[in-house]
Amino acid sequence: MSIGDQRVLGRTGLRVGRLGLSSGYGAPAEAMEEAFERGCNYFYWGSFRREGLARAVRNICSRGKRDDLIVVIPCFTRLASHMEYSYAGALKRLGLHYGDVLLLGWYNSRPPQRIIDRALRMKEYGLCKYIALSGHNRKLFGELAKEGIFDLFHIRYNAVHSGAEQDTFPFLGEIKEDKRPGVVTYTATCWGRLMNPNKMPPGEKTPTPSDCYRFVLSHPSVDMCLVGAKNAGELRENLKVLDRGAMTEEELGWMRRVGGHLYGGGKG
């Protein structure tokens, strides 16, 4: 079985490709549409909203495939009264009447109740189908999962920052599958640090982007990983991970040695 087989995104019941596409790096619409045909159906209209992803969404929908697409729109505002306005503006630019996921962005503590209430109201009105949360406080996800409000989480996870293996994944794993929030990870390359040959420990080869994504997707708790590509060539290279299997213990050990070295400062 390849690592690229589609997976159910936790309690949402959505079937997703193992790689999701982020809007912020500049890959053109044609490349994103090509990835969509490979099963990458999770489109994150993030904080840097470049036209490539928007045009890809419009083109895919014009071909009658809206139901096969999962569109994620974040809200970073801390003003509940501004949430619907911000969200509606994003929908207009994408040419959509609704989004699939409303993501409450970058919370390291429980969002204020006014924010949660407004998100739930937007869900009730049909502006979104699911509510997600992102942040860097790994222990928070396990606590919030017990409340049953959030349908999925966006979690930082890579070979340098692997603390979710202790602080998050075990607690989500205790939840019944039909109640477990979906797990989407980001920053698999640690903003490119994992691919810097000048930062490698002695005697270790430098990971490729595909290695970074494969490391993340080899963890059984991870449903999907977001990728950011600057051009069509980078995105096609990333897609190669879909044809490969999970990492062996030897490969995982290599990635952890590299990640541990970088976490310690990457000196020597």
% of the chain with per-residue pLDDT over 70: 98
The Cα–Cα gap between 146 and 120 comes to 17
The Cα–Cα gap between 220 and 173 comes to 10
Per-residue H/E/C for the chain: CCCCCCEECHHHCCEECCEEEECCCCCCHHHHHHHHHCCCCEEECCCCCCHHHHHHHHHHHHCCCHHHCEEEEEECCCCHHHHHHHHHHHHHHHCCCCCCEEEECCCCCCCCHHHHHHHHHHHHCCCCCEEEEEECCHHHHHHHHCCCCCCEEEEECCCCCCCHHHHCHHHHHCCCCCCCCEEEEECCCCCCHHHCHHHCCCCCCCCCHHHHHHHHHCCCCCCEEEECCCCHHHHHHHHHHHHCCCCCHHHHHHHHHHHHHHHCCCCC
Looking only at the bridges linking them, the beta strands covering 101-104 and 130-135 are: parallel
Cβ atoms of 57 and 35 closer than 8 Å: no
In the predicted structure, residue 268 carries a pLDDT above the cut 50: no
Mean pLDDT of 193-206: 96
pLDDT on residue 75: 96
Binning pLDDT at 50, 70 and 90, where does residue 60 land? very high
Report CA torsion sign: 157, 158, 161, 166. Answer: positive
The H helix count followed by the E strand count for the chain is 10, 10
Binning pLDDT at 50, 70 and 90, where does residue 1 land? low
What digits encode the pLDDT tens for the residues 216-261? 999 999 999 999 999 999 999 999 999 999 999 999 999 999 999 9
Q: How many CA atoms lie within 13 A of 51 on its CB side?
A: 0
pLDDT on residue 4: 80
% of the chain with per-residue pLDDT over 90: 92
In the predicted structure, residue 267 carries a pLDDT above the cut 50: no
In the predicted structure, residue 82 carries a pLDDT above the cut 90: yes
The Cα–Cα gap between 44 and 22 comes to 5
Binning pLDDT at 50, 70 and 90, where does residue 26 land? confident
Whole-number mean pLDDT of the chain? Answer: 95
Mean pLDDT of 7-34: 95
Lowest-confidence segment of 59-63, 181-185, 237-241 by average pLDDT? 237-241
What digits encode the pLDDT tens for the residues 103-140? 999 999 999 999 999 999 999 999 999 999 999 999 99
In the predicted structure, residue 171 carries a pLDDT above the cut 80: yes
